[in-house]
């Protein structure tokens, strides 16, 4: 292993760190924390069919959550080892009080080339300017439907307008590109694929369609609920004139297309189930309670919080990071016999 890099045993060098700042969320999305009546109705037959068991939701206590100072230190050490991109996630990261202070700390770290945030958008309009002033460069929203009732069914919240307002605010403040993500689930929102792409074209934003992954607390994921990325693309190519966007970044998770005559808008398809991109994965994840995860679907975690709180010096933290990354999995095993879904849901891992 090179002394100044984060390289795994498969030859991949990590450049991207996802930092979850909280495991709490104010939404209850079907594909993550399904607790609504709509979710129960949708999943009921699948629980019976699969013998699946719901995982009880338990938030971490405050003392287990990393402080801003601890996060800043881990990020600084990671950046010294070659990490360039930082994305703040949750749960819903804007539930973390005074998040702009953490943004300001990370923005000042020499070597951070890209500082982004993923949010459900509910609080964004009211906190956007403080985040922008603190140094946040990019923003991604989660929005799985443009229909108010369907949005409520998917998220458990009647909050579509707040998300739309957040997107408008982001554009007004000069965030670019503004990205919006939708998880596509068969029978839930796959009928809106063309409408969501049309929204992207109209608003001149980047829209990402993401395959449904087994990260729900209901343990009800089934492969037949996945709308394949190739099927999404086929539909969009029938509805719009699209041109492929060639990227020099081999680690990019999305395959992208621009709209003819709409250069400011594009769509991307992230297909981890049907077209895994593990071979070029350059991501590392830090959970809100201080665990390192080398894959979304890891069944093991490395406790960096214990190292940080043991009065270890930066060299010890760097060694811990390198050792954890060296053990990064070759790939995930979604849909294969023996696949084990991680205990944590998406909200507890960080997007």
* Cα separation, 194 vs 201, whole angstroms: 11
Asked if the structure places residue 60 within a domain, the reply is yes
Beta strands 85-89 and 16-20 are parallel
Asked if the structure places residue 144 within a domain, the reply is yes
Contact criterion met (CB below 8 Å) for 94 and 122: yes
Q: ∠ at Cα 206 (200, 207), nearest 5°?
A: 65
| CATH assignment at residue 126 | 3.20.20.70
Residue 189 lies in domain: 16-349
Mean pLDDT per block of 10 residues along the chain (351 residues) reads 74 94 90 57 48 49 92 98 97 96 98 97 97 98 97 95 98 96 94 98 96 61 82 97 85 85 91 70 92 81 96 96 90 54 54 53
Q: Where are the alpha helices (DSSP H) in 179-228?
A: 193-203
Please tell me the predicted confidence (pLDDT) of residue 216.
Answer: 47
Asked if the structure places residue 253 within a domain, the reply is yes
For residue 291 the two structure tokens come to: 């665990």
Please tell me the predicted confidence (pLDDT) of residue 272.
Answer: 74
Asked if the structure places residue 81 within a domain, the reply is yes
Asked if the structure places residue 4 within a domain, the reply is no
> How many structural domains are present in the chain?
1
Asked if the structure places residue 8 within a domain, the reply is no
Asked if the structure places residue 53 within a domain, the reply is yes
pTM, entire model: 0.87
Asked if the structure places residue 10 within a domain, the reply is no
């Amino acid at each position: 292993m090179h002394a100044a890099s984060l390289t795994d045993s498969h030859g991949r060098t990590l450049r991207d760190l996802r930092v979850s700042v909280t495991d709490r969320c104010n939404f209850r999305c079907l594909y993550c924390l399904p607790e609504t009546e709509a979710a129960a109705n949708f999943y009921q037959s699948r629980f019976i069919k699969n013998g699946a068991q719901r995982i009880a939701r338990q938030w971490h206590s405050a003392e287990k959550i990393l402080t801003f100072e601890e996060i800043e230190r881990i990020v600084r050490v990671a950046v010294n080892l070659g990490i360039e991109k930082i994305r703040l996630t949750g749960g819903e990261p804007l539930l973390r009080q005074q998040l702009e202070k953490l943004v300001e700390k990370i923005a000042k770290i020499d070597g951070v080339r890209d500082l982004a945030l993923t949010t459900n958008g509910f609080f964004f309009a009211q906190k956007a300017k403080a985040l922008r002033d603190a140094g946040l460069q990019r923003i991604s929203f989660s929005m799985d439907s443009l229909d108010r009732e369907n949005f409520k069914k998917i998220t458990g919240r009647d909050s579509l307008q707040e998300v739309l307002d957040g997107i408008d605010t982001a554009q007004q403040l000069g965030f670019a590109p503004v990205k919006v993500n939708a998880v596509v689930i068969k029978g839930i929102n796959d009928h809106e694929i063309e409408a969501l792409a049309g929204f992207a074209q109209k608003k001149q934003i980047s829209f990402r369609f993401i395959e449904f992954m087994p990260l729900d607390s209901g343990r009800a994921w089934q492969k037949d609920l996945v709308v394949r990325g190739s099927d999404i693309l086929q539909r969009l190519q029938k509805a719009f004139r699209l041109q492929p966007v060639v990227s020099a970044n081999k680690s990019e998770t999305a395959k992208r297309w621009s709209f003819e005559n709409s250069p400011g808008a594009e769509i991307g398809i992230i297909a981890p189930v049907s077209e895994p991109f593990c071979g070029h994965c350059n991501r590392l994840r830090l959970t809100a309670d201080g665990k390192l995860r080398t894959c979304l679907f890891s069944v093991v975690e490395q406790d960096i919080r214990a190292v940080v709180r043991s009065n270890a010096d930066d060299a010890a933290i760097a060694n811990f990071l390198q050792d954890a990354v060296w053990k990064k999995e070759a790939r995930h095993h979604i849909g294969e016999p023996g696949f084990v879904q991680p205990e944590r849901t998406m909200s507890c891992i960080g997007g």
